[in-house]
Structure 1
Amino acid sequence: MASVRYRHTMYDYDRHGRKRWYVRVVFNGKNVKRRIRSEEGTAEWVAEYNGHIEDLKTESAARSPYVKLHSLEWLANLWMASAEFQQSKPATQIQRRSILKGILKEHGHRDCRTITKEVVQAGRDKRAKTPGAANNMIKVIRGLYTWATDAGLVTNDPTQGVKRLKLGDSTWKPWTKDQREKFKAAHPYGTTARTAFHLAFDGGLRRSDVVQAGRQHRDATHLRLDQKKTGKRVSILITPELAKALDTAPSKGLSYVQTDYRKPYSVKGFGASVRRWVKEAGLPPGLTLHGLRKADGVRMAESGASENEIAAKLGHTDTRSASVYTKGANQERLADAAVRRYSEQSAPLSKSVGQFQSESSMESMPKLAGGGSGET
């Protein structure tokens, strides 16, 4: 399989007749091999192969004569080839590489030992319109220089004293109830769009987990899978709506969500399909699958779920993200309670005023004949 479909692979047999796969490339006329230890034909085999390819590319760049010694690019390549970097989650590695690519495009030629706090601040301010991106840039540079300092490659960390920007409102807007109902009306049970909808809304799954969710993850009561982003295992109770969506999923094989060609989606390709489904439902552009996950968080908070409960359902590693949902729900709950409290306190006052008005009216009315003093 691998010798045909995957480049830079080879295999041999050990003394027990078991096949051993390797990724092999040539550096400066020398063969460099990395063993693939996962079972052939599995997703783990492919993931390990891709990881070795990335590692070897990084090592090649670090050894390249075109990368200047002590340049920022040289330092970044060494970090990406380090054990510390490789031990981070795959999604974290992808994000870090993407951020580093942008940084190196502008500053890769500079001496890593002379990068200053002012340079980092300028990069942060350049990204001020997207505070999250600015803060992620600071985080990646800090990680790079923390590792480099421990390794004795540099003596200063230019991120020291650089403050993170305050985050504004999230661009991931939760779907309203009307928007969800309109989407469901356009995409009935038995469609891929509807299956994905319930995996994101009722399952609370990220896009990367929706595309990997499969029948192998389901038991009588739950979906149980390891999140792509964090590696943390989540167990999602299957609601009647989610059960119906999974039971009527049009896909064949393991994956619940597949392309029209019966193949699993890539994460990016799936995002394009979600945009198409949103448009077909007549909904405004900008609604994303992540907005359904946020709508699930809002729904849980409004029903009184705790931060720990929300974090457990959505697979967060801490309660900071969950607090965003509970703060909004608690604000509304507390505000309603305050209004009810002063409304209840004002009720007796309203009653006494009404009684006073009634009594005053009675006193101003003429006495009935035969009453009291007999005056007319």
Structure 2
Amino acid sequence: MIKTRLRYCVFDPDRRGNPRYYVRKPGSKKIRIREAFEDREGNIRPEFMKAYFAALESLSGIPRPLQPPPREKTFDWLVDQYYKSSRFKGFDPATQADKRSVLNRFCETAGNLPYALFRTKDVEASQDKRRATPAAADKLVKYLRALFAWAIKSGHAKSNPAVGVEKIHETVGWHTWSLAEIAVYRQHHEVGTKARLALEIFLNVGARISDVARIGRQHEVDGRLRFVAWKGRGKKKTRRTIDIPISADLAVSVAATSTGDLTYLVAESGQPFTINGLGNKMRDWCDAAGLHHCSAHGLRKASAVAMAESGVTAPELCAVFGWGKLETAEIYIREANATRMSANAFARLEEYRNRKSISPSVTKTKSETIRKKNRD
């Protein structure tokens, strides 16, 4: 073997004189370089040097840096395309801002990675890394699932690695207002106040807070309220028109309260509430009544429970609350039926106990009467 001008590189031709080059370090096995050493002018070929440095890195135990993928194959590019899509632009500004916040933070560490190589185990690892904030971890999975669903439809991806990833945040759901809590709120906030009007809209319309912030006199049609639900309005498939009668309680409250021109509820500035602003104000009104565990969404649930307990059918519930699936309505109906059946069961048990507690009267049987007459 003959040493070359390159450190650890040796020339070791075979028995026929054909050139062979190796990189050899003491205590390590040698690595052959199969690229040609020189060109016709006697210059060392770049391909040879590339293989030479790769062999050195391999023998030193230092991993060779990977060539970064083209930008159009990275998460940074995919997320940028998503933001420019009509799908993303169809979301309301609050939803857009929330998605941007979550996906931008994800791209701070994963933005230069190739999204096509992302697998379910990678999604689960990203979720687990955020386990200290489980709700945020699950939201990331939800938004990645939506991102890849759009990417598949747009031809940028072939599979969705976020599908099938289970939640790690167990939610107990919003507290459903009881009749007693509704009475407490009404007693504290009298008819004529914005706080009382808000409750009557939530309770008698069963609307989401995104709709309550927008509902106003322009939606009144022949004694009814008719409006397009804010959620899902961007697509024909999910667009829901709500058309319900104005209840007596709501009519009284609207007539007694100073309202805005376009919306029933307005802020101190006279402008309509934003969705977040109304949510914060409702929080203040509940706290003022001592109902710290109650919320605006809990009133929507209370309205659904009351209708289900009154015998309203699943399609009727969907028409009122704008649900697209009967399964959602059937949840409330099953709960109402369970409550009704348990009440019936205990009523029957109490009736049975009352019958058992009554002492049977001692009466003479027919045979005893006949025997007495015979003796006489």
The TM tier, using the shorter chain, reads: 0.5 to 0.7
Q: 2:226 corresponds to which residue?
A: 224
Shift of 1:145: 2.0
What is the identity, as a one-letter code, of the residue corresponding to 1:224?
A: R
The alpha-carbon distance between structure 1 residues 339 and 176, as it changes in their structure 2 partners (threshold 3 A), is closer
After superposition, what is the alpha-carbon deviation per residue over 1:289-316, rounded to whole angstroms, capped at 9, x for unaligned? 1111111011111111122211211111
Shift of 1:153: 3.1
Shift of 1:229: 1.1
- Residue aligned with 2:221, SS: coil
- Candidates 352, 356, 359, aligned match of 1:350: 356
Contact 1:249/1:257, CA 8 A, preserved across alignment: no
Between the aligned residues of both structures, percent identity stands at: 29
Q: 1:264 corresponds to which residue?
A: 272
1:75 paired to 2:78: yes
- Residue aligned with 2:205, SS: coil
The alpha-carbon distance between structure 1 residues 87 and 300, as it changes in their structure 2 partners (threshold 3 A), is same
Contact 2:225/2:243, CA 8 A, preserved across alignment: yes
What is the identity, as a one-letter code, of the residue corresponding to 2:73?
A: H
Equivalent-residue separation in structure 1 for 2:213 and 2:90 (angstroms): 24
Equivalent-residue separation in structure 1 for 2:177 and 2:108 (angstroms): 37
Structure 1 residue ranges without an equivalent (≥5)? 1-66, 364-369
The alpha-carbon distance between structure 1 residues 87 and 268, as it changes in their structure 2 partners (threshold 3 A), is closer
Contact 1:91/1:228, CA 8 A, preserved across alignment: no
Q: 1:196 corresponds to which residue?
A: 198
The range that moved more, 112-121 or 141-150, is 141-150
Q: 1:186 corresponds to which residue?
A: 188
Equivalent-residue separation in structure 2 for 1:261 and 1:147 (angstroms): 40
Equivalent-residue separation in structure 1 for 2:250 and 2:118 (angstroms): 52
Aligned length: 295
Q: What does residue range 166-177 of structure 1 map to in structure 2 within 5 Å?
A: 168=170, 170-177=172-179
Contact 2:152/2:158, CA 8 A, preserved across alignment: yes
What is the identity, as a one-letter code, of the residue corresponding to 1:81?
A: K
Equivalent-residue separation in structure 1 for 2:211 and 2:140 (angstroms): 25
After superposition, what is the alpha-carbon deviation per residue over 1:90-109, rounded to whole angstroms, capped at 9, x for unaligned? 77655544543443344334
Equivalent-residue separation in structure 2 for 1:358 and 1:349 (angstroms): 16
1:314 paired to 2:314: no
Shift of 1:318: 1.6
- Residue aligned with 2:225, SS: strand
What is the identity, as a one-letter code, of the residue corresponding to 2:289?
A: A
Q: 1:61 corresponds to which residue?
A: none
Contact 2:120/2:165, CA 8 A, preserved across alignment: no
RMSD: 3.5
Shift of 1:215: 0.7
The alpha-carbon distance between structure 1 residues 286 and 123, as it changes in their structure 2 partners (threshold 3 A), is farther
When normalised by structure 1's length, the TM-score is: 0.67
Contact 1:89/1:230, CA 8 A, preserved across alignment: no
After superposition, what is the alpha-carbon deviation per residue over 1:196-239, rounded to whole angstroms, capped at 9, x for unaligned? 11110111111111111111111232111111112221012111
Equivalent-residue separation in structure 1 for 2:306 and 2:185 (angstroms): 18
The range that moved more, 174-183 or 127-136, is 127-136
Equivalent-residue separation in structure 2 for 1:204 and 1:282 (angstroms): 23
- Candidates 155, 160, 164, aligned match of 1:157: 160
Q: 1:138 corresponds to which residue?
A: 141
- Candidates 279, 291, 296, aligned match of 1:289: 296
1:104 paired to 2:112: no
Shift of 1:340: 4.8
When normalised by structure 2's length, the TM-score is: 0.67
Shift of 1:73: 2.3
Q: 1:51 corresponds to which residue?
A: none
What is the identity, as a one-letter code, of the residue corresponding to 1:324?
A: I
1:335 paired to 2:342: yes
Structure 2 residue ranges without an equivalent (≥5)? 1-69, 234-239, 366-371
Equivalent-residue separation in structure 1 for 2:208 and 2:152 (angstroms): 35
Q: 2:151 corresponds to which residue?
A: 148
1:114 paired to 2:141: no
Shift of 1:168: 4.6
Shift of 1:167: 7.8
